[in-house]
């Protein structure tokens, strides 16, 4: 039986470790799974004689030096911009790697499965590895860790980008790509805040929390984070006609009942410019509130 048929025959429901152990025997190569934060989730097989393997297994993650090396060798970018699976090469490695994305039940990229290419990958082996990605993605769909991870991940990464603490953009390319994955074309930033009006702090917080809960349950395509006194949302260009979209029209009563206002930036493409467009959205928001126009949503005007 060929490798592709063997992978197809693997049963789901036995856990990630079962899939990795079985795949290790089928491909005769060690494998590991990491999450979007570069944390080790599982591995199988005798580690390849590579420094990064040792560091990953000993510490549970990649250190700064390993990540910067992979960034400098374009390994990080190759992973970031691949659709499904990709062959990774580095002059300082003894063998190439094959890596593929895994997705949670909301089709959000939540990690990578990587294998040492001890045996050259022909068309069948590549197809078998791609099938393994499907199996692993199916396996983790209901794992609480992976269903909750995107919310934590978006919050963490958006705050880093807004605070400009990202020092090496090459290293953070996978995180930037995960945030943008599934968002079409160019981007917008929307900033939502509660008008203070001398309300109690706990009331202010509860209104923002309620708004966040609505985003989580009804608008899963939005990437959002709490930042300062705002909820910051990253949206795609398919929502460019803001006043006609369900979020801004059908839920307009929600804005009025909770005394919420929103400012929206102009469009952009580079995720590392997020802070600039956040400032635009905040300016649009404050100018709109001060204008006393009776509206709740305000667009940036050049």
63-92 pLDDT per residue, tens = 878 877 777 777 777 777 777 788 888 887
How many Cβ atoms sit within 10 Å of the Cβ of residue 300?
21
| Cα 93-100-123 angle, rounded to 5 deg | 85
107 pLDDT higher than 80:
no
- In this prediction, residues 153-171 reach a mean pLDDT of 79
Q: Over the chain, what is the mean pLDDT?
A: 81
- In this prediction, residues 171-179 reach a mean pLDDT of 70
With respect to residue 154, please indicate whether it lies within any of the assigned structural domains.
Answer: no
Q: How far is it, in rounded angstroms, from Cα 127 to Cα 130?
A: 5
Which of helix, strand or coil describes residue 74? coil
Identify the residue with better confidence: 191 or 202.
Answer: 191
Which pLDDT score is estimated for 244?
A: 45
**What stretches of 164-302 show up as alpha helix (H) in DSSP?**
173-180, 201-218, 246-249, 252-257, 274-291
Virtual torsion, Cα 67, 68, 69, 75, nearest 10 deg: 70
Q: Of 16-25, 60-69, 190-199, 278-287, give the lowest mean pLDDT range.
A: 190-199
Q: How far is it, in rounded angstroms, from Cα 89 to Cα 219?
A: 38
pLDDT band at 156 (very low <50, low <70, confident <90, very high): confident
> Based on the domain organization, do 250 and 132 belong to the same domain?
no
Q: How far is it, in rounded angstroms, from Cα 43 to Cα 287?
A: 53
- Cα 57 to the center of its chain, rounded Å: 23
With respect to residue 106, please indicate whether it lies within any of the assigned structural domains.
Answer: yes
> Based on the domain organization, do 191 and 140 belong to the same domain?
no
Rounded to 5 degrees, φ, ψ at 271 are -60, -25
- In this prediction, residues 156-173 reach a mean pLDDT of 77
Task: Tell me the C-alpha to C-alpha distance, in Å, between residue 163 and each of 117, 191, 228.
Answer: 39, 15, 11
Which pLDDT score is estimated for 25?
A: 93
Which pLDDT score is estimated for 197?
A: 61
123 pLDDT higher than 90:
no
Read off the CATH number of the domain in which 133 is found: 3.30.450.40
CB 173, CB 76: distance < 8 Å: yes
> Based on the domain organization, do 50 and 121 belong to the same domain?
yes
| Cα 11-16-20 angle, rounded to 5 deg | 85
250 pLDDT higher than 60:
no
- In this prediction, residues 11-26 reach a mean pLDDT of 91
Q: Of 99-103, 194-198, 208-212, 223-227, give the lowest mean pLDDT range.
A: 194-198
Which of helix, strand or coil describes residue 90? coil
With respect to residue 187, please indicate whether it lies within any of the assigned structural domains.
Answer: yes
Read off the CATH number of the domain in which 287 is found: 3.30.70.270
* 88 contacts: CB under 8 Å, gap ≥ 6: 75, 78, 79, 96, 97, 98, 99, 114
- In this prediction, residues 116-122 reach a mean pLDDT of 76
With respect to residue 19, please indicate whether it lies within any of the assigned structural domains.
Answer: yes
12 pLDDT higher than 70:
yes
243 pLDDT higher than 50:
no
> Based on the domain organization, do 128 and 9 belong to the same domain?
yes
pLDDT band at 53 (very low <50, low <70, confident <90, very high): confident
pLDDT band at 277 (very low <50, low <70, confident <90, very high): very high
221 pLDDT higher than 80:
no
How many Cβ atoms sit within 10 Å of the Cβ of residue 91?
6
Identify the residue with better confidence: 282 or 13.
Answer: 282
pLDDT band at 293 (very low <50, low <70, confident <90, very high): confident
Instruction: State the residue range of the domain holding 243.
Output: 182-299
With respect to residue 89, please indicate whether it lies within any of the assigned structural domains.
Answer: yes
* 44 contacts: CB under 8 Å, gap ≥ 6: 17, 20, 21, 23, 24, 30, 31, 32
Q: How far is it, in rounded angstroms, from Cα 117 to Cα 31?
A: 10
With respect to residue 133, please indicate whether it lies within any of the assigned structural domains.
Answer: yes
With respect to residue 116, please indicate whether it lies within any of the assigned structural domains.
Answer: yes
Q: What's the domain count of the chain?
A: 2
> Based on the domain organization, do 7 and 131 belong to the same domain?
yes
Boundary (domain end) residue, out of 93, 124, 146: 146
Which of helix, strand or coil describes residue 124? helix
Task: Tell me the C-alpha to C-alpha distance, in Å, between residue 53 and each of 49, 50, 58.
Answer: 7, 5, 8
Give residue for tokens 């909820």. 231
């Amino acid at each position: 039986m060929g490798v592709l048929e063997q992978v197809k025959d693997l049963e789901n429901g036995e856990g990630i470790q079962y899939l990795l152990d079985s795949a290790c025997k089928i491909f005769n190569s060690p494998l590991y799974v990491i999450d979007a934060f570069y944390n080790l989730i599982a591995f199988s097989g005798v580690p390849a004689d590579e420094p990064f393997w040792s560091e990953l297994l000993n510490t549970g993650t990649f250190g700064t030096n390993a990540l910067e090396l992979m960034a400098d060798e374009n390994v990080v970018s190759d992973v970031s911009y691949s659709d499904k699976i990709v062959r990774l090469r580095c002059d300082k490695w003894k063998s190439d790697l094959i890596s593929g994305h895994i997705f949670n039940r909301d089709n959000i990229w939540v990690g990578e499965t990587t294998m040492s290419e001890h045996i050259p990958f022909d068309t069948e082996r590549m197809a078998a590895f791609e099938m393994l990605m499907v199996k692993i993605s199916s396996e983790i769909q209901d794992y609480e860790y992976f269903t909750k991870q995107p919310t934590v991940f978006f919050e963490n990464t958006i705050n880093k980008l807004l605070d400009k603490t990202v020092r090496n953009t090459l290293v953070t390319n996978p995180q930037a790509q995960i945030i943008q994955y599934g968002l079409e074309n160019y981007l917008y930033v929307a900033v939502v805040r509660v008008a203070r009006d001398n309300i109690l702090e706990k009331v202010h917080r509860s209104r923002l929390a309620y708004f966040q809960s609505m985003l989580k349950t009804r608008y899963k395509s939005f990437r959002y984070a709490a930042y300062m006194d705002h909820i910051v949302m990253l949206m795609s260009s398919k929502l460019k006609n803001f006043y006609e979209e369900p979020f801004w029209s059908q839920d307009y009563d929600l804005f009025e009942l909770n005394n919420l206002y929103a400012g929206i930036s102009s469009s952009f493409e580079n995720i590392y410019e997020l802070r600039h467009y956040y400032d635009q959205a905040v300016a649009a928001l404050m100018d709109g509130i001060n204008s006393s126009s009776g509206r709740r949503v305000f667009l940036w005007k050049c």
